[in-house]
Structure 1
């Protein structure tokens, strides 16, 4: 896995330059052969196979950004990119669920300790799903908490999870109070799962719908988005590492950007291997001797390398800023969102380029290329990677207009 390095800042013991960090990335790489072989079955099941889920647990990968005080690795944030990059070179669906579910241990570390204890005291390995589509949920204030209802799509890996973080809008009878964006942590007994995930890409993620009907959620089992914009959070008292002081939704794209990166890298690796050993079907010319082949490899690899550099640099710099107590201003936050979308778009462009260059062989369902193409475009369809949205908001802020992203 190529890409930028960077030493961890002061006070870090699990950053990109440490042995423990490198060991965890190597564990992810070590899973590539078996996960790649299992990819067709993962698509058929439409969720992670039990043996894949077990391997991710046994490797410790689900817990890479979980607080050390409960047995997690507490690695730097860029670990999500690097490990998803490795797993994505095997199967984007596995990498997607890994990154999603691992990141929720990081987010839970920012909740009130009561919420952390409710989950981790019972089972430190418990998996937590999510759906951060705020308009999908509506909540009203009640004595000691909130009453929540809603219907959320795209809750990836939800069948494997004991808990779920669901986003909602809190409204008040007093119009002067306005509305509030808040995240609610619910046990599986408090929501219903609808099996709706029949998709053309990321088929194995089991990103099903979740329903909640007027369920009470205690105040301490929730967190306001305004508490996750950078700096101390409700969880800082027990989790003082700078990892838990990062601006959550500014860095949101990088939870999943490594998936698109690894998928594109796998596509490039496969194409190079094909080109080295094949001859044209029609004139038997060596594919490797064709100038067009050489140019396509150069262009795709440049896009992938540039994407990796952008992703990793932004995550490493964000950690360095957090260690120094610095929170990016609105312009900096919109830049993070812009770069997250742009870098994944580069990966999608690289896959599309290689798919087109592969000719008729790309059409066979028995090969990995068609899955890599479908998965690349499925990753790119996530709102976090919509460059029109991220670019518009970046441009608005650059022009001194109000931001349209209410989570930053």
Structure 2
């Protein structure tokens, strides 16, 4: 097991590289949406900049950013394009946790190449894993595999037959049948297709228990476990997309200043914009406050307690619901410019796809309220619910 009690921090180098990619990502966004996946120039740039390694343990050649550093990188790329930020957050969560939790044999096979491997898949509804000598036979069908068109490995949840155990199983992309049905309202460029696996053999070292929270390599961030690390992803994404929406509306209004009948001269619009800005900044401040607190605990060698786990879930739920409000306000204020094909329309559609994710579902909010109200004594978080 890891003997590193502290968080690893890597500084701002990768954030600066993400910022440098903004012109390319923005330029390619329309083509990516049309083809239903990121364009080759963007994927190549993410590799060349090292951004696919932001979550991978340092000893495997990754950057192993801290939670706050990850949030900043995902915010930056999501500001440039919601789909690009989404693909990076999903794939790096999966290759980072694989690097931390898989056995040595698997890691030697998977992380030996000149490029960081890209993972895609789904870790909620499980397929079937039948135990076999040395591993498992994995079968099933999964949805929402963000980044699958660019992946070399699939990350899939499997329920071990005859037991209560569920495991993340890693399979080479050659074992995957891509079903290709990604015809959706928003986040079209994420390529989050459905896929199937039929009886692929998964060596034991190429899997790990879903709830694993003690890393075999890497530092304190991996003590969060897979689910709490996923909250980092979606928090950074919401911060970037919300900021871009408000900035685009500011530009839209400013371009129409001085014209009669435009929102730039409306007192009601001025007040509504101030309210939207305040709500969004407040929700973002809660995200940063909760992860600052979480980092202090992790860096001291501890694990999050129940209240801290409640707060990181609540912070994500709040920034996500606030993002949905901001998107509706920006779309309504954008008039026919928002109605037509363009950036505001695309952002509006992307938000309504992204805010439907299970990590910000209504059950999570209800459970947060129950714990905060003191109505869950002796209970702890298991994925998105509190249990005794």
- The answer to whether the 8 A contact 1:66-1:72 is kept is yes
In the TM superposition, 1:147-296 aligns within 5 A as 147-172=137-162, 178-228=163-213, 232-233=214-215, 235=216, 238-239=217-218, 241-279=219-257, 284-285=260-261, 287-296=263-272
Asked if the contact 2:57/2:100 (under 8 Å) is kept, the reply is no
User: What is the CA distance between 1:377 and its match in structure 2?
Assistant: 0.9
Contact 2:7–2:295 under 8 Å retained in 1: no
Q: How far apart are the structure 1 equivalents of 2:209 and 2:7?
A: 27
| 1:154-181 CA distance string (max 9 Å, x none) | 0011111111110121231xxxxx4112
What secondary structure does 1:69 align onto?
helix
Deviation of 1:395 after TM superposition, in Å, equals 3.7
Quick one: distance in 1 between partners of 2:159 and 2:370?
Answer: 24
Summarize the alignment of residues 134-145 of structure 1 with structure 2, pairs less than 5 Å apart. Answer: 134-135=125-126, 137-145=127-135
Q: Post-superposition shift, 1:196?
A: 0.8
TM-score by length of 1: 0.86
Does residue 1:109 correspond to 2:95, yes or no? no
Considering only aligned residues, what root-mean-square deviation do their CA atoms show, in Å? 2.2
Match of 1:399 in 2: 375
CA distance, structure 2, for counterparts of residue 406 and residue 36 of structure 1:
35
Q: Does 1:90 align with 2:65?
A: no
Q: 1:272 and 1:30 mapped to 2: Cα distance?
A: 23
Secondary structure of the structure 1 residue equivalent to 2:225: coil
Q: Which digits, 9 at most, give the CA deviation of each residue in 1:81-135, with x for residues without a partner?
A: 2111111112101110011112223211322222222210134411111211233
Distance in 2 (CA, whole Å) between partners of 1:195 and 1:280 is: 48
Contact 2:331 2:338 survives alignment (8 Å):
yes
Larger mean CA deviation between 325-334 and 257-266 belongs to 325-334
Partner SS for 1:247:
helix
- Per-residue CA deviations over 1:225-261 (Å, capped at 9, x if unaligned) read 2323xxx33x1xx32x212222321342221222222
Q: How does 1:28-107 map to 2 (within 5 A)?
A: 28-107=18-97
Q: 2:296 aligns with which of 312, 316, 320?
A: 320
Question: 118, 121, 124: which is aligned to 2:112?
Answer: 121
Change in CA separation of 1:80 and 1:362 when aligned onto 2, cut-off 3 Å? same
Q: Which runs of 5+ in 2 are unaligned?
A: none
Q: Work out whether residues 167 and 207 of structure 2, in 8 Å CA contact, stay in contact via their aligned partners in 1.
A: yes
| 1:375 counterpart residue number | 350
Q: Is the 8 A contact 2:120 2:148 kept in 1?
A: yes
Q: 1:316 to 1:115 in 2, by over 3 A?
A: farther
Paired residue for 1:24, among 14, 18, 23? Answer: 14
The alpha-carbon deviation at position 293 of structure 1 amounts to: 2.1
Is the Cα–Cα contact under 8 Å of residues 154 and 209 in structure 1 kept in the other structure?
yes
SS at match of 1:110: helix
State whether residues 167 and 184 of structure 1, in contact with CA within 8 Å, keep that contact through their aligned partners in structure 2.
yes
Report the Cα distance in structure 2 between the residues aligned to 1:395 and 1:264, rounded to whole angstroms.
Answer: 25
After the TM superposition, which of the residue ranges 178-187 and 158-167 deviates more from structure 2?
Answer: 178-187
What displacement does 1:12 show? 5.0
Where does residue 7 of structure 1 map in the other structure? Answer: none
Structure-2 separation of matches of 1:153 and 1:11: 35
Q: Is the CA contact 1:303–1:347 (under 8 Å) kept in the aligned structure 2? A: no
TM-score normalised by L of structure 2 = 0.90
Contact 1:168–1:181, Cα closer than 8 Å, also in 2: yes
Give the distance between the partners of 1:364 and 1:225, measured in 2 at CA: 43
Aligned pair in 2 of structure 1 residues 171, 180: CA closer, same or farther (>3 Å)? same
Alignment gaps of 5+ in structure 1: 1-9, 15-19, 173-177
Counterparts of 1:403 and 1:246 in 2: how far apart (Å)? 14
Q: Is the 8 A contact 1:77 1:315 kept in 2?
A: yes
8 Å CA contact 2:117–2:151 kept in 1: the answer is yes
SS across alignment from 2:43: helix
Tell me the secondary structure at the aligned position of residue 130 of structure 2: strand
- Shift of the alpha carbon at 1:267? 1.2
